[in-house]
């Protein structure tokens, strides 16, 4: 079987999503044997422009990111966004709330003009994205499942139901019963309710489900006197680039 040639790229981000691939542990050997990794920003020094699949971490936050992304999109047949920064802009979008010039001044002071920074955007604002492994960081199993599906020519199955469903499967006590706020009713599942399972409210790192007004855990929200709109207000930590409240209406 011909192995798919894969490039793993990092735009503006912390490198944590690429690290998740390197931390695949038991699955790493199978992963490396199943594909031909020709470029891996964080792991190998060789560079190649001969790949079919691009796994891209990080948001577009500099003019250099724009150039690199557009080049990758010319080469790759399939683009997979890896992680929150790439999928929704992630934490980097918080900068946009201040405005680029103000944010540069706050961080770099009188050296701000040395910095190549533009308004942060997720990669699908520039290029067509075929699949998303969401989350900060994404789960290792989801990255592996997407790549496995691509190898056998299947469409990867990405959940479009809320984190609450995973909590129910795990028999978790709902955090609202403990007086803790949680974005689980409107956040796309796939992390196996990672935060609520550790008694920590979901902060929406996997982004919202499609059509939250239809697919959210509306009954649960009603029980606590909340609406979808109320909870969407808090969605800015990882999703400030997307006008979520507008999109959901
Ligand atoms: S609101 Fe949070 S803690 Fe409660 S069921 Fe949903 S995901 Fe779990
Ligand atoms: S529970 Fe929410 S914040 Fe935590 S990993 Fe899952 S989607 Fe992200």
Domain count, the chain: 2
Contact (Cβ atoms closer than 8 angstroms) between residue 79 and residue 150: no
Residues 131, 29 share a domain: yes
Share of the chain above pLDDT 90, in %: 67
Report if residue 192 sits inside a domain: yes
Ligand nearest to the CA of 186: 1
Is 131 in the same domain as 13?
yes
Give 175 Cα–ligand 1 centroid separation in angstroms.
Answer: 6
Q: Is 182 in the pocket of ligand 1 (CB under 6 A)?
A: yes
Do the domain assignments include residue 214?
Answer: yes
How do residues 196-224 score in pLDDT, each as one tens digit?
A: 999 999 999 999 999 888 888 999 999 99
Residue 178: domain span: 163-248
- Tell me the C-alpha distance between 151 and 1, whole Å: 10
Q: Which residue has the higher pLDDT, 229 or 82?
A: 82
Identify the residues whose C-beta falls under 6 Å from ligand 2: 135, 163, 187, 191, 193-196, 202-206
Element (H, E) at 231: helix 228-232
Average pLDDT of the chain, as a whole number? 90
Both 21 and 70 in one domain: the answer is yes
Which residues sit opposite 187 in a β-bridge? 208
Confidence band for 248, pLDDT divided at 50, 70 and 90? very low
Report the CATH number that the domain containing residue 27 is assigned in CATH.
3.40.50.700
Distance CA 42, CA 213 (A): 39
Strand boundaries in 14-90, DSSP class E? 36-40, 53-57, 78-82
Point out the ligand 1 atom lying closest to the alpha carbon of residue 217: 6
Q: Of 104, 131, 151, which residue sits at a domain end?
A: 151
Q: Which ligand is nearest to the CA of 209?
A: 2
Q: With respect to residue 79, please indicate whether it lies within any of the assigned structural domains.
A: yes
pTM: 0.89
Q: How far apart are CA 34 and CA 24, in angstroms?
A: 14
Is pLDDT of 193 > 60?
Answer: yes
> Which token pair is 173?
């006590």
**Residues 71-97 pLDDT 10s:** 999 999 999 999 999 999 999 988 898
CA 185 from chain center: how many Å? 18
Q: What is the mean pLDDT of residues 233-241?
A: 75
């Amino acid at each position: 079987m011909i192995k798919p040639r894969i490039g793993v790229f990092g735009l503006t981000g912390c490198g944590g999503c690429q690290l998740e691939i390197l931390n695949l542990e038991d699955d790493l050997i199978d992963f490396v044997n199943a594909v031909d990794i020709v470029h891996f920003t964080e792991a190998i020094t060789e560079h190649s422009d001969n790949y079919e699949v691009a796994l891209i971490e990080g948001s577009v936050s500099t003019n250099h990111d724009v150039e690199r992304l557009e080049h990758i999109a010319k080469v790759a047949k399939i683009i997979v966004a890896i992680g929150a920064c790439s999928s929704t802009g992630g934490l980097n979008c918080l900068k946009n709330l201040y405005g680029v010039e103000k944010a540069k001044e706050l961080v770099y002071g009188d050296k701000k003009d040395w910095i190549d920074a533009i308004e942060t955007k997720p990669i699908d604002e520039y290029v067509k994205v075929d699949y998303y492994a969401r989350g900060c960081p994404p789960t290792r199993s989801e990255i592996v499942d997407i790549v496995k599906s691509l190898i056998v020519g299947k469409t990867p199955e990405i959940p479009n139901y809320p984190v609450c469903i995973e909590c129910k499967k795990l028999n978790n006590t709902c955090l609202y019963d403990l007086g803790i706020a949680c974005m689980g009713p409107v956040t796309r599942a796939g992390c196996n309710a990672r935060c609520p399972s550790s008694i920590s409210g979901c902060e929406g790192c996997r982004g919202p489900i499609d059509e939250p007004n239809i697919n959210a855990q509306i009954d649960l929200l009603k029980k606590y006197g909340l609406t979808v709109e109320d909870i969407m207000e808090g969605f800015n930590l990882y999703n400030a680039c997307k006008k979520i409240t507008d999109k959901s209406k």
